[in-house]
Amino acid sequence: MITNPLLAPIHSLLDYAAVRPDHIESAIPALIEEARAAVEKVAANSGPVTWQTVVEPLEDASERLWRAWSVAGHLNGVLNTPEIRNAYNACLPAVTAYSTWVGLHRGLYGQYLRLRESEAFEALPPARQRIIELALRDFRLSGVELEGEARERYSQISDETAQVSQKFSENALDAVDQWELIVTDERQLQGIPADVIDAARAAAADSGREGWKLTLKMPCYLPVMQHAQDREIRAQLYRGYATIASDQGDTRFDNSSLIERLLALRAEEAALLGFDSFADMRLETRMADDPGQVLEFLHTLATRARPYGERDLEELKAFAAESLGLTDLQPWDVAFVSERLREARYAYSEEEVRQYFTEDRVLEGLFKVVGRLFAVGLHPIDAPVWHPGVRVFEVRDAQAQTLGTLYLDLHARHGKQSGAWVDSERSRRRKGSELITPVVYLTCNFTPPQNGRPSLLTHDDVITLFHESGHALHALLSKVDDPAASPFSSVEWDAIELPSQFMENFCWEWSVVQSLSSHVDTGEPLPRTLYDKMLAARNFQSGMQMLRQIEFALFDMLIHRRNQGLTITEVLETLDAVRREVAVLIPPSWHRFPHNFSHLFAGGYGAGYYSYKWAEVLSADAYAAFEEAAVTTPDGTRDTLDPATGRRFLDEILAVGGTRPAADSFRAFRGREPTLDALLRHSGMFEDAPVA
């Protein structure tokens, strides 16, 4: 009888509620040893090499390990108790050491080389040939050809990098969880939405205090910054968020030295492998050719966006002075003034819109979109979960065949990493007659239900949910039977955002918005008049928003293009230089944005943040195909949910995973190379574009 749920058969759903920290600490070492034995057996084979003697035995052993480790990492992110954190950290060095050992294993590398040069290789289907080619590339990028001290040093770097990245993540989480502002004067809460105030009162009561507890969690932070009339309250929260995990905040969680260490380790790793910089090394596995190409792309976008960003800021300053009496617009005023300007210009507020987007209705509408485009259904099932708020859905095709399982964890809570993301527990794999289907986690941090009322989403929350659903669909609708070519394993990083950013576009279509909306009190869908106002405001401050993303991407590429590490002073100086070049809003000198930039320092996006804009070009162009195929319904509505185009998107983008280069997949879908035109048009950045 299996008593450790992490050792359950790979085809079964896991009993998350039963997973204890000691299960992690016992399962991971045992599974590592099992995987090591499999590697050694494959490497020792002196007979003929085939797919069945090299690749399949490794997949059999490794999928159990990576499934268990994925669960451990997931729980560490969504249920971060001291016990789970300690168990995860106890196993992290061994997992890192195993990964490094495999990458440096010359015997295994030799078997892949033999397979590549064999007659058996020529008989493999193209997808499996690509897996072999990518494996050989990854071996070389993992240092397999290093000798002596360099080889040993590479192993040390890998181990330390994993430890430092994990500590960076912990510091960011702890800094947010520990920060609070207790308000005892209710007058200071004027303007803040009622449900946010109710949640703040409940949070204070839970910690044994009177009054209201404000935090840096997004369901609290964002509405306070947008709506609080008390300028000092906004200033305190702004400073708290701007100094997360830094020398300017709670110094117990200062990430300064960790940033320095990570940049030094990355530069050293790249040099060991013969690259000029970490950025050069990273782009070996991307669509982009080299850092220069990325920088040229970002500078081109910045040049196009800057006039619009400058116009956005001037309008904001003028409105602040003329309508609100704020002649000295400060960073903590920007969200508040922007929301007032939006209300004045378009006669609606985000809070008004939010009343129409109840969580259940939004999910129902999302599932309808997915069903119409891709002919699949999402059906709720009972399954063990890690928190009572988690919901589980089975994804089935038109023939009622199960394609995968989706776990939704949508609400913010203490001990849960902030942000929104998708990860997978296991990938699709066919073993003989058995098909193992993918299991995917979709995680967000929306406002939980309050006082018997459902969770209400802003339209930005709806967009976030659609974005993450694109990632989830990429994994769930894959038809790739070999995990090594699954979407999350081998699609180039700068194309991985294509499906997610593509899905965002449907949140702006009238027919879709109707299916997503139902007023929390009346049940009425969002009125057409309100929708028209939202649509008119779609590109509100799009110039500033695009420049902000370009700022992040340029900063990332520049600090990783250096051939050595940087001090934290040099990091901040680089960011300042980027801002002087592209930004229109310059934050205070004490602002410490990099210290909470988990994408770069704990999330795998180092030298890859440009991917968001790169993939946005692809996604906007891909969505343009749906615009071209749209039909006008009898009531005059444009319907972009074209099943035929959806089927092509499924077949050429989602289903193929990494079985071919992403550029080939895009060309197969669109019939040509991508262009900037659709992105600029969707962003309102074209000649004679109307003023937002």
Using CA atoms, how far apart are residues 273 and 144, in angstroms rounded to an integer? Answer: 10
Cα-based distances in Å from 194 to 9, 198, 607: 47, 6, 41
The single residue listed with the structure tokens 């949508």 is 410
Nearest to 391 by CA among 356, 375, 367, 419: 367
What is the distance between the alpha carbons of residues 665 and 659, in angstroms, rounded to a whole number? 9
Q: Under a CB-based contact definition with an 8 Å cutoff, are residues 481 and 430 in contact?
A: yes
Distance of CA 356 to the CA centre of its chain: 26
Cα 529 from chain centroid?
33
The answer to whether 540 and 508 have CB atoms below 8 angstroms apart is no
Closest CA to 640 of 513, 539, 540: 513
Residue 436 is inside which H or E element, if any? strand 434-436
Distance CA 289, CA 492 (A): 12
Rounded CA separation 376/384 (Å):
23
Burial environment of residue 649 by CB neighbours within 10 A (0 to 12, 13 to 18, 19 or more): buried
Q: What are the structure tokens assigned to 649, written together?
A: 């998107």
Q: If you write DSSP's letter for every residue of 259-288 in order, what string do you get? A: HHHHHHHHHHHHHHTT-SSHHHHHGGGSSS
**What does the DSSP 8-state code read for residue 429?**
E
DSSP string across 286-306: SSS--HHHHHHHHHHHHHHHH
Q: Are 515 and 364 in contact (CB under 8 A)?
A: yes
- C-alpha 314/C-alpha 311 separation (Å) is 5
Residue 468 is a catalytic residue: yes
For residues 397 and 403, the answer to whether their CB atoms sit within 8 Å is: yes
Q: What are phi and psi of 408, to 5 degrees?
A: -110, 120
Structure tokens at 384: 């063990």
> CA-to-CA distance for 379 and 535, rounded, in angstroms?
32
- The one catalytic residue among 351, 468, 616, 652: 468
Q: What burial class does residue 288 get, using C-beta atoms within 10 Å of its C-beta: 0-12 exposed, 13-18 middle, 19+ buried?
A: buried
Residue pair 160/100 in contact by the 8 Å Cβ criterion = no
- Name the phi and psi angles at 358, rounded to 5: -80, 145
For residue 577, give both structure tokens. 């230089």
The pair of structure tokens assigned to 528 is: 């057409």
Q: Give 639's strand partners.
A: 631
Longest Cα separation, the chain: 82
Which residues partner with 397 through β-bridges? 376
Q: Which residues contact 125 (CB under 8 A, 6 or more apart)?
A: none
Q: Are strands 402-411 and 439-446 parallel, antiparallel or unpaired?
A: parallel
Task: Please answer whether residues 255 and 246 qualify as being in contact, where contact means their C-beta atoms are separated by less than 8 angstroms.
Answer: yes
* Dist. CA 490–CA 475, nearest whole Å: 12
Q: Which residues are catalytic?
A: 468
